[in-house]
Amino acid sequence: MAATSTSSEVFIRGLTEDGRRFRPSDWAERLAGVMAQFRPGGAGARGGHISYSPWCVPTAIDGVSCVVVNRALREHEPMAWDFVMNFARDNGLQVTEACLLPDVPASDS
């Protein structure tokens, strides 16, 4: 699936287009680790050596490993964006456009 500009984020899911789980199981952390240097302020930004880039974050949704890629990556580092999108395409991974919403605290009623 080609990413359009209707959402702020693209989710690369750890499922192939035919529904099989992508391996190895830590692929999302590996991909996000490679992308950690691409961040606002560049690789030398404060704290850049100990965290994932806010533009490429591993997570799990419904028990499936995912990488959430923010569109800001495309604007600031087009080659890095292409690398991530080509990784998804080359491995036949599902790509979904969406916007990651913050967790809402449960009400104490």
Tens digits of per-residue pLDDT, 30-44?
999 999 988 887 665
Q: In whole angstroms, give the CA distance from residue 53 to residue 76.
A: 13
The per-residue b/e assignment along 46-67, b for 16 or more CB within 10 angstroms, e otherwise, is eebeeebbebbbbeeeeeebbb
The pLDDT score that the predictor gives to residue 33 is 93
pTM: 0.78
Q: Alpha-carbon Rg of the chain, whole angstroms?
A: 14
Check pLDDT > 50 for residue 1. Answer: no
The pLDDT score that the predictor gives to residue 59 is 96
Average the pLDDT over 94-102 and give the result. 77
Positive or negative torsion for Cα 82, 84, 86, 88 = negative
Check pLDDT > 70 for residue 27. Answer: yes
* Domains of the chain and any CATH numbers: 26-98 (3.30.70.2340)
Per residue in 82-94, pLDDT (tens digit) is: 999 999 999 999 9
Check pLDDT > 70 for residue 61. Answer: yes
Pick the closest to residue 76 from 32, 21, 23, 39 (CA basis): 39
Average the pLDDT over 92-107 and give the result. 74
Check pLDDT > 70 for residue 95. Answer: yes
